[in-house]
C-alpha cells in the first residue's frame, strides 16, 4: 500500500463516500469530507413520481438508460409506491438502449433486454445512436442521473421525439454547507493537496461557492497550481476544465480506478 501520510485529500461526494474515504485512508491519506451535493431521497421525490405516472399513463416506444444505479433507483422507488410491476410491464414493451455494461446489467436484472448498449460507455455515443436510428414521433423515456442532459435531450426533441425525462437521484445543495466552506478554506490556505470529484454538480458547486464568497479567482489560482483535481470522468471534469483547471481522470469511470489514480499521482517517486 502507498504511504500518503500527511496528504490531505478533499472528497466531495455524498454517495458511496464511506467506501471512497476508506480506500484513501488505507493508503495513509487524511480525508476532508465535504459533500457539495445532496441526493433527494427517492421516496420523497415528487418529480420522479410524476414522471413515472406519465410513463404508465402514456407508454413509451424507447427507453434510454444512462446509469445502472439510476435505473435501479427508479424501479425501487416505483416498487415503494406500489407501481413497480406496472412500470416494468410498460418498459418491457419498449426498445431499450443503455449507455454501457452497468446500465445493461441493471436492465437485465429487472427482467428486461436491451437492444443495444454503447461500447464506449458515453452519453454522446448513446444519444447519437438513437438519433441515427430515427426518433421522429417516438415517445422516449430518458433515465437521467443527478442532473439534466440538455446537450443530448434537446437534440432528440428537435428531431421530433416526445420526451419523458426520468431523473432519479436529483442533486441539490447540502443543508449544512459548513464542511464545504472549511474545505474551500483548506484549498485556499494550501492545506489540501487534492480534490476528488465524482459528479459534475459537485465540481460546479465548488466553483459557485467560491464565487459567492468572492474568492473565485483565488480558488482558480490554487486549482491551477499544486492542487490535484481528480475526476471520475470527462462529464464530471467539464465544469473545471471549462474554468481552465487541469484535471486527471482514470481510463475507466469507476471509483476504484479513481482511487488508484489519486494514489499514483500523489505517491512520491522513490
In the block, cell 407508454 appears at 59
Q: What is the pLDDT of residue 84?
A: 97
The CA–CA distances, whole Å, from 108 to 72, 91, 115, 167 equal 11, 12, 11, 20
Summarised one tens digit per residue, pLDDT across range 167-209 is 987 788 999 999 999 999 999 999 999 999 998 889 999 999 9
Q: What is the pLDDT of residue 270?
A: 62
Which secondary-structure segment (H or E) carries 142? strand 139-143
Summarised one tens digit per residue, pLDDT across range 213-268 is 999 999 999 999 999 999 999 889 989 999 999 999 999 888 899 999 999 999 87
**8 A C-beta contact, residue 94 and residue 110:** no
Q: For the chain, what percent of residues have pLDDT higher than 90?
A: 80
CA atoms within 13 A on the CB side of 66: 24
Query: What pLDDT band is residue 45 in, cutting at 50, 70 and 90?
Result: confident
Give the other-Cβ count within 10 Å of 49's Cβ. Answer: 17
CA atoms within 13 A on the CB side of 266: 30
In this predicted structure, the answer to whether residue 127 has a pLDDT above a threshold of 60 is yes
Highest mean pLDDT range out of 105-114, 119-128, 195-204? 105-114
d(C-alpha 103, C-alpha 121), whole Å: 9
Q: What is the pLDDT of residue 252?
A: 86
In this predicted structure, the answer to whether residue 2 has a pLDDT above a threshold of 70 is no
Q: What is the pLDDT of residue 163?
A: 97
Amino acid at each position: 500500500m502507498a504511504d500518503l501520510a500527511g496528504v490531505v485529500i478533499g472528497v466531495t461526494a455524498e454517495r458511496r463516500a464511506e467506501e471512497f474515504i476508506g480506500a484513501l485512508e488505507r493508503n495513509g491519506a487524511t480525508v476532508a469530507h465535504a459533500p457539495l451535493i445532496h441526493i433527494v431521497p427517492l421516496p420523497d421525490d415528487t418529480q420522479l413520481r410524476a414522471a413515472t405516472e406519465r410513463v404508465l399513463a402514456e407508454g413509451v416506444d424507447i427507453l434510454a438508460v444512462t446509469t445502472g444505479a439510476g435505473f435501479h433507483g427508479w424501479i425501487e422507488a416505483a416498487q415503494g409506491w406500489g407501481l413497480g410491476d406496472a412500470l416494468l410491464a410498460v418498459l418491457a414493451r419498449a426498445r431499450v438502449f443503455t449507455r454501457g455494461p452497468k446500465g445493461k446489467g441493471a436492465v437485465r436484472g429487472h427482467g428486461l433486454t436491451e437492444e443495444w448498449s454503447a461500447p464506449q460507455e458515453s452519453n454522446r455515443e448513446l444519444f447519437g445512436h438513437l438519433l441515427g436510428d430515427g426518433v421522429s414521433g417516438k415517445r422516449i423515456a430518458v433515465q437521467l442521473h443527478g442532473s439534466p442532459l440538455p446537450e443530448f435531450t434537446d437534440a432528440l426533441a428537435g428531431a421530433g421525439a416526445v420526451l419523458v425525462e426520468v431523473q432519479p437521484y436529483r442533486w441539490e445543495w447540502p443543508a449544512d454547507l459548513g464542511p464545504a466552506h472549511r474545505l474551500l478554506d483548506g484549498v485556499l490556505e494550501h492545506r489540501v493537496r487534492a480534490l476528488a470529484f465524482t459528479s459534475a454538480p459537485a465540481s460546479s458547486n465548488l466553483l459557485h461557492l467560491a464565487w459567492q464568497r468572492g474568492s473565485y479567482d483565488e480558488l482558480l489560482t490554487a486549482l491551477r497550481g499544486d492542487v490535484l483535481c481528480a475526476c471520475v470522468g470527462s462529464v464530471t471534469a467539464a465544469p473545471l476544465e471549462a474554468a481552465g483547471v487541469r484535471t486527471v481522470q482514470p481510463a475507466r469511470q469507476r471509483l476504484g480506478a479513481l482511487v488508484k489514480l489519486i494514489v499514483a499521482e500523489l505517491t512520491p517517486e522513490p
